[in-house]
Structure 1
Amino acid sequence: MKFDIYCDECFPDLLTSGNPQAQYVIIGSLWLPSEKRAVYKTAIHTLRDQHKVGGEIKSRKVSPSKLDFYKELIDFYVDQGTDLRFRAIAIDHSKVDIAGRNQNSAELSFYKFYYQMLHHWLGANNSYSIFCDYQTNQHPDRLTELKKILGNANPLAEFPVVQWVRSKESVLTQLSDVLTGLTSAKLNATTTVGSAKHELLTHFESRLERTIGPTGVTAQKFNLFQINLDGGW
């Protein structure tokens, strides 16, 4: 079966910052059958037209005037059942050994976590097209390496596409941004009670019928891998 994966991230700068503003780096991904790509894109565009919401859809753009739109966007995501899934990895930046385990490269460390986020949800005999939110890297071949490593670790799967996409050109990447941003907001406690974003976060948890937090790898609709970097059992 063919799948699309649309990826986004929150607070990647925590791996290099001398003045961190949060605890967790979040890398998120939206998974869907490739055959439903066009249907989902049309549905999101229609919803945006109905609410007269222009520009990019992003978690940082949630406001009182757009709250109803974002709530309906969350409803759309939830109502698709397991045909539309979300998986994220949460990394405590203070426990990342960049010098000792990552060749003193925060960028290399970041893509190792990208791999961890993707790898454990990949299945044999499937084809995955992976679209990563555009970033400027010191090493220009990061996605080429990621594709190679994913292929080596999953020889029975195919990866025809692992490429950059600019979020302004992809509403599915934008939906991934919203879900990743809400996950980050919960784990990093960055919302204020009474704010539009806090209300949207509450709505998201209500629709999921669970609090946003770590899950087991088999959780299908919403999956959060809080990686343990302390070692041990």
Structure 2
Amino acid sequence: MNFEVYCDESGLEALTQKNAHLYVGIGGIWLPSECRSDFKDALKKIKEKYSVHGEWKWKKVSPAFFEMYKDIIDFFFNAEYIRFRVILIEANKVDNIRFHNDDAELSFYKFYYQLIKHWIFDFNTYTIFTDLKENRNKGRLNELHRVLDKSNLTSDVISVQGLPSEQSLGIQLADLLTGLVVSKFNNELKSEAKQGLIAHVEQVYLRNEIQPTPKWQEKFNVFKINLQGGW
């Protein structure tokens, strides 16, 4: 089966500024390629309903557009063909000097690998899209593609490419869900609208607080990576 994966991150500055946030998050949505048109049509209808033409972002959540963002979240949870996964990284435990050649950019892409590799399953093909960013090392995405393609010998990662978020509804949805989870764990929220969206997810769909989930949780998977080692 052919899958598309759309990814974005939240709180990235904490990889170099440890006091910026407690957690950095990288998240992605997975959907079958054959469902791409249905996915785009459904989200475009929500935009039309609220006469919105710009991109959706967690940072843009406000009381004026609360109902629109709630509709987006409702769409995600009710669309059985879409899955979401986010990796949470405790910023103060990331040792760039010891483990990443004193290179925060390298550590970021190593965590990207950890996000995606566990959901590359046998006998599928994957096309991966990341939010376009200016990398110091221009070969980062090619290297990520290479190591992901080798992570499962019976699957095929066709490409890893950057896209401007304003051109991709998939990346916009990944931004919204990733920002929501990371904001919950960072416990920094002052926005009532954002607090309301988190409460909506927890009360209506999870019936619990957002928290780390088992690997087999497929709809809304929260992976809090253990950077201390051990059993």
Residue type at the aligned position of 1:2:
N
Q: Paired residue for 1:136, among 134, 137, 148?
A: 134
Q: Unaligned regions of 5+ residues in structure 1, if any?
A: none
Question: Which residue of the partner structure matches residue 32 of structure 1?
Answer: 31
- Unaligned 5+ segments in structure 2 are none
State which of 114, 117, 141 in structure 1 corresponds to 2:115.
117
Pairwise CA distance, 1:61: 0.6
Other-structure match for 2:176: 178
Task: List per-residue Cα deviations over 1:97-142 (Å, max 9, x = no partner).
Answer: 1111111101111100000000111101100000000111110010
- Structure 1 position 213, deviation (Å): 1.1
Mapped to 1, the partners of 2:146 and 2:205 lie a distance apart of 35
CA RMSD across the alignment? 1.1
Q: Are 1:165 and 2:163 matched, yes or no?
A: yes
Task: Say whether residues 1:16 and 2:16 are aligned partners.
Answer: yes
Give the Å deviation of 1:207. Answer: 3.0
Aligned ranges 1:3-152 → 2 under 5 Å: 3-17=3-17, 20-81=19-80, 83-152=81-150
Matched residue count? 230
Deviation at 1:54, TM superposition (A): 2.5
Supply the AA of the counterpart residue of 2:122.
Answer: A
Q: What code does the residue aligned with 2:210 have?
A: I
- Residue 196 (structure 2) pairs with residue 199 (structure 1): yes
Q: By how many angstroms is 1:21 displaced? A: 2.2
Residue of structure 2 in register with 1:216 after alignment: 214
Question: 1:208, CA displacement in angstroms?
Answer: 2.2
1:10 maps to amino acid: S
Q: TM-score, normalised by structure 2?
A: 0.97
Other structure's SS at 1:26 match: strand
**Cα distance in 2 for residues equivalent to 1:138 and 1:89:** 23
Q: For 2:182 and 2:188, locate their aligned partners in 1 and report how far apart those are by CA, in whole Å.
A: 8
TM-score w.r.t. the length of structure 1 is 0.96
* 1:13 Cα deviation after fit: 1.2
CA distance in 1, matches of 2:101, 2:146: 19
Given that residues 13 and 20 in structure 2 are in contact (C-alpha distance below 8 angstroms), is that contact kept between their aligned partners in structure 1?
no
Q: Name the CA distance, whole Å, in 2 between partners of 1:132 and 1:8.
A: 6
**Identical positions, percent:** 42
- For the residue of structure 2 that corresponds to 1:30, the secondary structure is strand
Task: Give the Cα–Cα distance (whole angstroms) in 2 for the partners of residues 134 and 213 of structure 1.
Answer: 28
